[in-house]
Amino acid sequence: MRGAGASRGKPKTDRPRRGMFRRKRVCRFCVDKVEFIDYKEVRMLIASIPERGKIQPRRLSGTCAKHQRKLQTAIKRARQLALIPYVTD
Ligand SMILES: [Zn+2]
């Protein structure tokens, strides 16, 4: 289903327009209410791995400690299964 002309105009309007995009300090997993990070979800993992294949630090990603840890575990597992690369070069 595609949201065709769904709800418009959010109640909260106190959002300063600073920063380009994806610069929020909120953990995206918390926002999505992700409790378990699946190592099979390659797409999600790849989003946390910038080009070099390293895991993006919390500082940059804004991921909270809890989720960062789960993410790390998931990434490591995915690497072992060769779902994602150790190093991209
Ligand atoms: Zn979180």
pLDDT tens for residues 5-40?
A: 555 666 666 666 655 555 567 899 999 999 999 999
* Amino acid at position 6, single letter: A
Give, as one character, the DSSP assignment of residue 46.
H
Strands (E), the chain: none
In terms of Cβ atoms closer than 10 Å to its own Cβ (0-12, 13-18, 19+), residue 43 is exposed
The architecture CATH gives domain 28-80: Irregular (4.10)
Q: Separation of 70 CA from ligand 1 center, angstroms?
A: 9
Q: Where are the domains of the chain?
A: 28-80
Q: How far is the CA of 29 from the centre of ligand 1 (A)?
A: 5
- DSSP assigned state of 79: H
Q: How far is the CA of 27 from the centre of ligand 1 (A)?
A: 5
Global model pTM greater than 0.85:
no
Burial class for 79, CB neighbours closer than 10 Å (0-12, 13-18, 19+):
middle
First-to-last alpha carbon distance for the chain, in angstroms, is 38
Distance 7 CA to ligand 1 centre (A): 27
